């Protein structure tokens, strides 16, 4: 390594450093194949030190290669050797959830089912879960897949609920049309008209979603209180659909080579041989983007192109003159090129803008130390340790005269990177519109929220002003239709007149007629109960919806669809950037299977506990 004030040509340096890393890896592999694990670990430590000297935080290829090595060791060699390999895999890629997840799986299954390492496994799994949301490169595919599962699961529940409404209330609508047309002589026509009317959105090519929403608007006046509440809940959730489609399209576009993933990798210090040329290729598109200049400077500093890094940072400063990262990172360039007075000045300016940034205090302490201002250096180091003890402890432990380990750069904040990913762009809008059209047909995406709000208002007006002239219900005992126009009186309660007389304590009617009515009720209730159990057995939650417990049923249906889709798309619709290193073993499959069986049995128990005669269950009344 040359002197700090004499930059080395980065291309030649990169070739030498690559060969150095490959040589260390080959030495490790040879020792590992000879089962000389002690010397093999010494080579891994050299590899880790080499990684730090290159300014690399996450070297995924080496990390996942170590995970694979840990998975193919013989059982008698596993315990100590596997833990050491996984330990170094985590050091080579500390931000990778898949590496930590591999460690969690190993800890779990090593003593399965004794559970000796279960607490350590849970801690590792929770850490992997947290990393899966903070490491944007792996989080974005996960979020995209999650949104896809939410879309399809929600749509599945909406479809089942919509057809249940059609099944329950189509006859009510046909009977209503019979009254509108003028009597029973129009019974056949009135049975056809609702079908034609309810098919209007599909015939006009509006899309499937508008078809179901149109059913809501038409059938709301016949629906029970619980059904109406779920209708409005669905419509409120549908208001989130356009935003969800745009987010999903943003994630898809970011995977398509628009430079966003390269920006993320550069700011996470991920190893990629051709990352710098890819960043430079974005100059035309992102020449006015402060984050791009910031990211470019980070790479140039890591490549020890200090002159170019300084120019990039000065350009970044023109675009964002009050950024603490600008002053801190430029101070790092001045420190690494032995311009200590300027470095101290820029660190001090950075602290004025962000006095609680531990990294800046640490860098200023390094500048004071190199400038032999020992007292001032100790003060800054103490302040840094107070602000971020774990972070400063890590950097103190790896600190050396190597330029990559001497000071800490401030990258672009993850929230800013995420905002740039989800920001509107022509590519995103085109893809979002294409996805929207699949479900929503001719209504453009840009009008989605407005139209859905109008639909909610229409539903409210329909239920309030056009449903009061007729009341149609179904008897909760025998299932017969009760119509206020047919009986020429108000419909009160949920039982027809015959059931009220038959089951009242003061009934004085013909006992034979009462007996026949009770047999009719028993037959209806048995058929209804059987069908509810049958539907629930086919698809958990469908039986609850059929029996009137629509809220509870919709919840179970969502979980059912989500689980089924997750199994179908187990490899994931959008692949992760580093796939396939961790797979479910027998113990993992057993646990997942047990959860599915437990959920299935619980739902069957719930549907069996519904009291059909009274229309209520443990969770409360089914609605009026």
What H or E segment, with its residue span, contains residue 621? strand 620-621
More confident residue, 515 or 550: 550
Q: What is the DSSP letter of 372?
A: T
In whole angstroms, how far apart are CA 602 and each of 271, 494, 544, 599? 48, 29, 13, 5
For residue 217, name the pLDDT band (cuts at 50, 70, 90): confident
- pLDDT of 5 reads 35
- pLDDT of 2 reads 31
- pLDDT of 193 reads 87
| 15 pLDDT more than 60 | no
| 328 pLDDT more than 80 | yes
- pLDDT of 284 reads 82
Answer yes or no: are the C-beta atoms of 308 and 324 closer than 8 Å: no
Could you give the CA distance from residue 172 to residue 152 in angstroms, rounded to a whole number? Answer: 30
Domain 12-138 and domain 259-422, same fold? Reply is: yes
Q: What is the DSSP letter of 186?
A: G
Answer yes or no: are the C-beta atoms of 603 and 533 closer than 8 Å: no
More confident residue, 493 or 49: 49
Q: Please choose, from the candidates 462, 455, 561, 559, the residue with its C-alpha nearest in 3D space to the C-alpha of residue 239.
A: 455
- pLDDT of 503 reads 75
Residue 205 neighbours by CB distance under 10 Å: 9
Of 115-119, 125-129, 266-270, 527-531, give the lowest mean pLDDT range.
115-119
Answer yes or no: are the C-beta atoms of 615 and 621 closer than 8 Å: yes
Q: What are the structure tokens assigned to 295, written together? A: 């990211």
- pLDDT tens digits along 177-186: 888 887 676 7
- pLDDT of 319 reads 94
Of 257-266, 493-502, 580-589, 612-621, give the lowest mean pLDDT range.
612-621
Would you say domain 12-138 falls under CATH 1.10.4030?
no
- pLDDT tens digits along 69-119: 888 875 656 677 888 899 999 999 999 988 998 888 888 777 655 566 788
| Over residues 442-462, mean pLDDT | 87
For residue 8, name the pLDDT band (cuts at 50, 70, 90): very low
Q: What are the structure tokens assigned to 603, written together? A: 């739902």
Of 229-233, 433-437, 607-611, give the lowest mean pLDDT range.
607-611
Answer yes or no: are the C-beta atoms of 478 and 499 closer than 8 Å: yes
- Most confident of the ranges 178-187, 425-434, 459-468, 589-598: 425-434
> Tokens 């580093």 appear where?
578
Q: Please choose, from the candidates 492, 416, 520, 397, the residue with its C-alpha nearest in 3D space to the C-alpha of residue 136.
A: 416
Residue ranges of alpha helices (H) inside 539-580 are: 542-546, 550-568
What H or E segment, with its residue span, contains residue 473? strand 472-474
The full set of domain ranges for the chain reads 12-138, 259-422
- pLDDT tens digits along 487-513: 654 455 677 777 777 777 666 667 777
- pLDDT of 307 reads 94
> What end-to-end distance do the CA atoms of the chain give, in Å?
80
Domain 259-422 fold is: 1.25.40
Residue ranges of alpha helices (H) inside 446-510 are: 448-465, 484-487, 497-503
Reduce the DSSP state of residue 617 to 3 states and report it: strand
- pLDDT of 409 reads 95
Plot region of 96 (φ>0 → left; ψ -120 to 50 → alpha; else → beta): beta
């Amino acid at each position: 390594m040359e002197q700090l004030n004499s930059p080395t040509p980065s291309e030649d340096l990169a070739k030498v450093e690559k060969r150095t890393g490959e040589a260390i890896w080959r030495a490790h592999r040879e020792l590992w194949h000879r089962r000389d694990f002690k010397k093999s670990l010494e080579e891994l430590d050299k590899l880790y030190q080499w990684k730090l000297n290159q300014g690399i935080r996450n070297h995924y290829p080496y990390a996942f290669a170590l995970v694979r090595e840990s998975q193919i060791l013989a059982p008698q060699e596993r315990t100590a050797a596997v833990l050491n390999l996984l330990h170094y895999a985590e050091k080579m890629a500390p931000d990778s959830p898949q590496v930590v997840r591999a460690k969690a799986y190993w800890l779990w299954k090593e003593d399965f089912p004794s559970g000796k390492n279960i607490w350590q496994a849970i801690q590792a799994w929770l850490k992997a879960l947290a990393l899966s949301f903070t490491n944007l490169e792996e989080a974005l595919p996960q979020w995209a897949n999650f949104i896809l599962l939410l879309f399809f699961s929600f749509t599945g529940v909406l479809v089942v609920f919509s057809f249940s409404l059609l099944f329950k209330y189509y006859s009510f609508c046909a009977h209503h049309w019979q009254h509108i047309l003028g009597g029973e002589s129009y019974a056949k026509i009135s049975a056809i008209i609702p079908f034609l009317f309810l098919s209007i959105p599909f015939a006009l090519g509006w899309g499937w979603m508008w078809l179901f929403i149109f059913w809501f608007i038409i059938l709301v006046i016949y629906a029970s209180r619980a059904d109406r509440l779920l209708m409005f809940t669905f419509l409120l959730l549908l208001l989130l659909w356009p935003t969800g489609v745009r987010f999903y399209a943003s994630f898809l576009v970011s995977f398509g080579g628009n430079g966003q993933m390269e920006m993320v990798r550069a700011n996470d210090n991920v190893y990629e041989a051709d990352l710098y040329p890819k960043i430079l290729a974005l100059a035309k598109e992102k020449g006015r983007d402060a984050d791009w200049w910031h990211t470019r400077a980070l790479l140039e500093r890591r490549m020890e192109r200090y002159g170019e890094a300084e120019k990039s940072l000065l350009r970044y400063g023109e675009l964002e003159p009050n950024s603490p990262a600008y002053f801190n990172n430029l101070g790092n360039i001045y420190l690494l090129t032995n311009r200590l007075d300027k470095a101290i000045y820029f660190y001090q300016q950075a602290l004025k803008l962000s006095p609680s940034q531990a990294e800046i205090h640490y860098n200023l302490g390094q500048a004071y130390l190199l400038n032999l201002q020992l007292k001032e250096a100790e003060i800054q180091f103490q302040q840094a340790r107070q602000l971020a003890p774990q972070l400063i402890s890590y950097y103190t432990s790896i600190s050396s005269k190597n330029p990559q380990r001497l000071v800490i750069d401030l990258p672009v904040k993850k929230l800013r990177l995420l905002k740039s990913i989800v920001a509107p762009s022509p590519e995103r809008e085109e893809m979002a519109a294409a996805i929207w059209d699949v479900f929503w047909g001719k209504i453009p995406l840009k009008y989605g929220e407005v139209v859905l709000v109008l639909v909610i208002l229409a539903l409210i007006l329909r239920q309030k002003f056009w449903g009061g002239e007729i009341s149609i219900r179904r008897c909760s005992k025998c299932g017969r239709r009760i119509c206020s126009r047919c009986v020429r009186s108000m419909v009160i309660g949920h039982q027809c007149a015959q059931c009220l007389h038959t089951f009242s304590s003061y009934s004085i009617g013909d006992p034979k007629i009462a007996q026949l009515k009770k047999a009719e009720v028993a037959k209806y209730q048995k058929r209804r109960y059987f069908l509810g159990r049958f539907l629930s057995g086919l698809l958990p939650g469908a039986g609850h919806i059929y029996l009137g417990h629509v809220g509870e049923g919709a919840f179970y249906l969502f979980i059912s669809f989500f689980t089924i889709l997750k199994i179908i798309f187990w490899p994931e619709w959008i692949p992760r950037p580093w796939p396939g290193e961790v797979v479910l073993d027998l113990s993992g499959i057993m646990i997942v299977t047990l959860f599915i069986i437990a959920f299935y049995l619980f739902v069957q128990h719930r549907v069996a506990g519904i009291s059909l005669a009274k229309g209520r269950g443990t969770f409360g009344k089914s609605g009026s």
